[in-house]
A and B are shown apart, each in its own frame.
Chain A
Amino acid sequence: MTPKTSTPAPSLDDFLTASAALTGFDAFELHATGMAELYHDTAREQVGDAALGRLLDALAAAGGDPDGIADEIARDIARALAHTWYLGVWPQLAASVHTALGRQQANAAFTVSPEAYTEGLVWRTFHGHPAGAKPPGFGTWADPPPGAPAVARAGAGAPGLPGPRGGGA
Chain B
Amino acid sequence: MSPAPRHGRGRYDVIVVGAGLSGSLIAKELGDKGWRVLVLEAGTGTLDGWPGHLDALDTFYGALAKVPNSPYRPNAAAPSPDVLDVTGLPAGGYRARGYFVQNGPLPYSTDYLRARGGTVLHWLGLTPRMHPEDFRTRRTYGYGRDWPLGYDDLEPHYRAAERALGVAGDAAEQAAAVGLPFPDGYVYPMHAIPRSYVDDVFAARLDGATVREAPGAPGTTLRVTGTPHARNSTPDRRYDGGRGYRPAGAAGLPNYGERCVGNASCVPICPVQAKYTPLKTQATWDRRRVRLLTHAVVGRVLADGNGRALGVEYQEYEDPAAPVATTRTAEADVVVLAAHAIENARLLLVSRLAGHSDQVGRNLMDHPVLLGWGLARHPVGPFRGPASTSGLESFRTGPARRERAPFRIEISNWGWGWPAGSPGSDVARLLGIGAGPAQPRAKGVFGARLRTALGEEIGRQVSVQFLMEQEAEERNRVTVDRRHPDRLGNPRPVITYDLSERVKRGMAAARSVSEEIFRLLGAEDRTAYEPGPLSPGYFRFEGRGFAFNGAGHGGGTHIMGASRGTSVVDAWQRCWDHPNLYAVGCGSMPSMGTSNPSLTMAALALRSSERIHRDLTEAHRPAAVGPLSPEPVGDGRTEGPA
Contacts and interface: CB of A to CB of B under 8 A. Distances in A.
Contact of A109 (B64, B431, B451, B455): B64
Contact of A148 (B272, B378, B438): B378
Contacts of B259: 138
A137 B261 contact: yes
Q: Which 4 A-B pairs have the closest CB atoms?
A: A166-B173, A141-B385, A132-B265, A145-B381
B200 A151 contact: yes
B549 interface: no
**Chain B binding surface, main DSSP class:** loop
Interface of A: 21-25, 65-67, 75-76, 78-79, 82-83, 86-87, 89, 91-95, 98, 107, 109-111, 113-115, 117-118, 121-123, 125-129, 131-133, 135-149, 151-154, 158, 161-169
A142 B64 contact: no
A158 B203 CA distance: 10
Contacts of A152: 200, 203-204
A113 B185 CA distance: 51
Given A66-B447, A83-B433, A149 B378 contact: yes
Interface in B426-464: 426-428, 431-433, 436-438, 441, 443-452, 454-455, 458-459
Contacts of B223: 163
B58 interface: yes
B66 A24 contact: no
Given A22-B450, A114-B62, 9 more contacts: A22-B446, A79-B444, A86-B427, A138-B262, A139-B262, A151-B204, A154-B226, A166-B170, A166-B174
18 contacts: A75-B444, A87-B427, A91-B428, A122-B454, A126-B382, A126-B383, A126-B454, A127-B455, A128-B458, A133-B271, A135-B263, A138-B260, A138-B261, A142-B197, A147-B459, A148-B380, A154-B200, A164-B176
B383 A128 contact: yes
The dominant DSSP class at the A interface is loop
B197 A161 contact: no
Interface string B49-83: 00000000111111110100000000000000000
Contacts of B383: 123, 126, 128-129, 131
Contacts of A92: 436-437
Contact of B379 (A75, A109, A117, A126): A126
B264 A79 contact: no
B447 A23 contact: yes
Interface of B: 57-64, 66, 170-174, 176-177, 185-187, 192, 194-197, 199-201, 203-204, 207-208, 221, 223-224, 226, 233, 238, 259-265, 269, 271-272, 378-386, 389, 413-414, 417, 423-424, 426-428, 431-433, 436-438, 441, 443-452, 454-455, 458-459
Given A87-B427, A126-B458, A158-B204, A79 B265 contact: no
A21 B379 contact: no
A169 B176 CA distance: 11
Nearest to B450: A24
A83 B196 CA distance: 30
Contacts of A107: 437
A168 B226 CA distance: 13
Given A140-B262, A151-B200, A161 B437 contact: no
A157 to B, nearest CB: 12
Contacts of B413: 141
A27 B380 CA distance: 29
Most chain B beta-carbon contacts within 10 A, residue among A79, A133, A154: A154
Contacts of B437: 92-95, 98, 107
A24 B201 CA distance: 30
Nearest to A59: B446
B428 A94 contact: no
B459 A145 contact: yes
Contacts of A22: 446-447, 450
A129 B380 contact: no
Contacts of B379: 126-127, 144-148
Given A24-B452, A151-B201, A169-B238, A162 B208 contact: yes
Nearest to B446: A66
Nearest to B424: A87
Given A79-B444, A141-B262, A141-B413, A169 B187 contact: yes
A90 to B, nearest CB: 10
A146 B379 CA distance: 8
A112 B414 CA distance: 24
Contacts of A24: 446-452
Contact of B194 (A67, A82, A142): A142
Most chain A CB inside 10 Å of its own CB: which residue of B172, B260, B272, B455:
B455
B203 A148 contact: no
Contacts of B428: 83, 91
A72 to B, nearest CB: 8
B271 A132 contact: yes
A163 B208 contact: yes
Contact of A161 (B207, B226, B261, B447): B207
Contacts of A144: 197, 379, 381
Nearest to A107: B437
A111 B454 contact: no
B319 to A, nearest CB: 24
Contacts of A113: 62
B506 to A, nearest CB: 24
A162 B414 CA distance: 28
A87 B176 CA distance: 43
Contacts of B459: 125-127, 145, 147
A147 to B, nearest CB: 5
Given A87-B424, A136-B384, A151-B204, A168 B62 contact: no
